[in-house]
Amino acid sequence: MTTRTGCRHFVSVKDFTADEIIDVIDLADTLKQERVAGAEPPRLAGKTLGMIFQKPSLRTRVSFETGMTQLGGHAIYLAPADISLGQRETTEDIALVLSRYCDLIMARVFGHDIVTEMARHATVPVINGLSDREHPCQILADLQTIRERRGGLAGVRCVYSGDGNNVAHSLMYGAALTGMHLAVVTPPGFEPDGDILADARQLGETRDARITATTDLAAASRDADVIYTDVWASMGQEEEAEARKAKFAAYQVNETLLANAAADVTVLHCLPAHYGEEITYTASRVPGSAIFDQAENRLHAQKALMVRLG
């Protein structure tokens, strides 16, 4: 997304081209190696990241904040009560004010329209740290993780089982841009957004990415290379959590499901996990599980993103 102020934003995975996504993941790999070698140049020295949170976070907050420190910059955490986005002050004014202090803004919000509005008005790059529609930073880390585990992305057969939510939407765009095959498997009534599905399919055509939405988990997961799941009720849907348990029970990632997939299947979960609901504890700890690599790669992938935007 480029707004009238002319700066680049990362509000959706598809704000970047396929080449740009690969470039960010390549840089993330380099940053990861540099960190292991203890030889990291301070690529963002003197830069400040403003981080707005309307919702709780462990990974997003800590990975962005430590990432900025490691790059020689500084991050400021703005908790929900600090700025009361939309109540104490308008999104437009917050974007304009933060743009006068900060070099980058990251926002975790309820409505996707809030982060797009912020990007429209900000004169510095805005990064979506999760909205009700997308979680693009998560998918950068996931693509890095899948490539580490599977040796590539094009042609990898990935199955997402659970709610057709923000993570599923961003994963669809991620698959489209890298040529992964993706089946999003949900209970009836919890399918991903139809417009995003159509958009991702069209975007993925040139790379032969097969992106489907189905309710048949057994068929979709047969010989799958990657099985991914996320909570059944997202932040903001807590009152639906109990009622969803019965509807989603057949979509749990467990040992029976993994036995149907490739023998070396990679198991992914963006975390936080609700063990015994969308994934069993045992399934989360199989040798193919990469869930803590995913969490670690948030750090490297977002550092790479900030370097490219900053």
Interaction with ligand CP in 120-149: which residues (CB under 6 A)? 130, 138
CB of 162 to ligand NVA, least distance (A): 9
Would residue 35 show up in a list of annotated catalytic residues for this protein? Answer: no
Residue 173's Cβ-count burial label (10 Å; 0-12, 13-18, 19+) is buried
CB of 19 to ligand CP, least distance (A): 25
Residues 226, 157 contacting (CB under 8 angstroms): yes
Would residue 230 show up in a list of annotated catalytic residues for this protein? Answer: yes
Tell me the CA end-to-end span of the chain in Å, nearest whole number.
15
Name which of ligand NVA, ligand CP, none residue 58 binds, using a CB cut-off of 5 to 8 Å depending on partner kind: ligand CP
Number of C-alpha atoms within 13 angstroms, CB side, residue 74? Answer: 6
Residue 7's Cβ-count burial label (10 Å; 0-12, 13-18, 19+) is middle
Exactly one of 58, 154, 243, 250 binds ligand CP (CB under 6 A); which one? 58
CB of 271 to ligand CP, least distance (A): 5
CA distance 83 to 95: 12
Dihedral sign for Cα 150, 139, 302, 12, please. Answer: positive
> Which among 270, 294, 300, 302 is annotated as catalytic?
270
Would residue 210 show up in a list of annotated catalytic residues for this protein? Answer: no
- Structure-derived torsion over alpha carbons of residues 172, 210, 16, 80, reported in degrees to the nearest 10: 0
β-pairing verdict for 211-214 and 48-53: unpaired
Name which of ligand NVA, ligand CP, none residue 182 binds, using a CB cut-off of 5 to 8 Å depending on partner kind: none
Exactly one of 3, 12, 48, 60 binds ligand CP (CB under 6 A); which one? 60
CA distance 48 to 139: 24
β-pairing verdict for 211-214 and 226-229: unpaired
Phi, psi of 197 (to 5 degrees): -60, -50
Q: Which stretch in 83-91, 93-101, 160-168, 203-211 sits in contact with ligand NVA by CB under 6 A? A: 160-168
Would residue 157 show up in a list of annotated catalytic residues for this protein? Answer: no
CB of 58 to ligand CP, least distance (A): 4
State the DSSP H helix or E strand holding residue 78, giving kind and residue range, or none if neither: strand 74-78
Q: Which is nearer to ligand NVA, 225 or 230 (CB)?
A: 230
Residue 278 interacts with ligand NVA (CB under 6 A)?
A: no
Structure token pair of residue 270 = 């963006």
Name which of ligand NVA, ligand CP, none residue 166 binds, using a CB cut-off of 5 to 8 Å depending on partner kind: ligand NVA
Residue 235 interacts with ligand NVA (CB under 6 A)?
A: yes
Would residue 15 show up in a list of annotated catalytic residues for this protein? Answer: no
Question: By rule CB under 6 A, what string of x and - marks binding of each residue 56-85 to ligand NVA?
Answer: ------------------------------
Q: Which stretch in 13-21, 24-32, 70-78, 228-236 sits in contact with ligand NVA by CB under 6 A? A: 228-236
Q: Which stretch in 70-78, 146-154, 265-273, 301-309 sits in contact with ligand CP by CB under 6 A? A: 265-273
The binding site for ligand NVA (CB under 6 A) comprises: 130, 135, 165-167, 230-231, 234-235, 270
